Amino acid sequence: MNFCSNCGSNHIQFTIPEGDSFHRHVCSKCGKVFYDNPRIIVGCLPVHESKIMLCKRAIQPQYGLWNLPAGFLENNEKPEEGAIRETLEESLANVEIIKLHCVFSLPKVNQVYLHFLAKLQEKRFGPTGESLDVKLFGADEIPWKSIAFHSSTYALEKYLEHGAQYEGVHIGSYDGKQKWEQ
């Protein structure tokens, strides 16, 4: 950060503000503190007749690999609305949220994933500008070696271990060395 978006000065310091415990960018001219917080990614684990819908990525990162439809939560958007929107954008599928399925953190890249269990409202889906292909997979058909992200792997594993009847929310993380568990 080079300039203060509040007053325009170039008097930005990276310091711990009074009363805080984290380093932040602070304008020494006007006192504005700039918070850099984790980004929220929302998505769905869509199911239809005991099969799971996955999307083959048409964009980077992880072009050509499979994942659950997900993307960044927008301002003024509820997480479940964002998950429905992202699923539609990536797969043309309309889904109905059943429940929050898992929370998965990637502290090294400042991301928190919220994956919702959802059911397809109809068997209608297809590729988009974000997905090369969209398919339904049975439990024994999931292309595990071609899953794009740890968050998708975690959500899929927990769903297959516990099913839709699990009443809790799975909580996991990946810190660059070790995977998950609550």
pLDDT at residue 150 is higher than 80: yes
pTM over 0.75: yes
Q: Which domain holds residue 18?
A: 1-36
Instruction: For residues 6 and 43, state if they share a domain.
Output: no
128 and 151 both lie in a single domain: yes
Could you give the number of structural domains in the chain? Answer: 2
- Asked if pLDDT for residue 47 goes beyond 80, the answer is yes
Residues 67 and 20 in one domain: no
The CATH number given to whatever domain includes residue 3 is 2.20.70.10
**CATH classification at residue 51:** 3.90.79.10
Residues 85, 63, single domain; the answer is yes
Given a cut of 90, whether residue 101 has pLDDT beyond it is yes
- In this prediction, residue 12 has a pLDDT band, given cuts at 50, 70 and 90, of very high
Q: Closest by alpha carbon to 128, among 154, 91, 95, 161?
A: 91
Question: Residue 36, class by beta-carbon neighbours within 10 Å (0-12 exposed, 13-18 middle, 19+ buried)?
Answer: exposed
pLDDT-wise least confident of 71-80, 86-95, 168-177 = 168-177
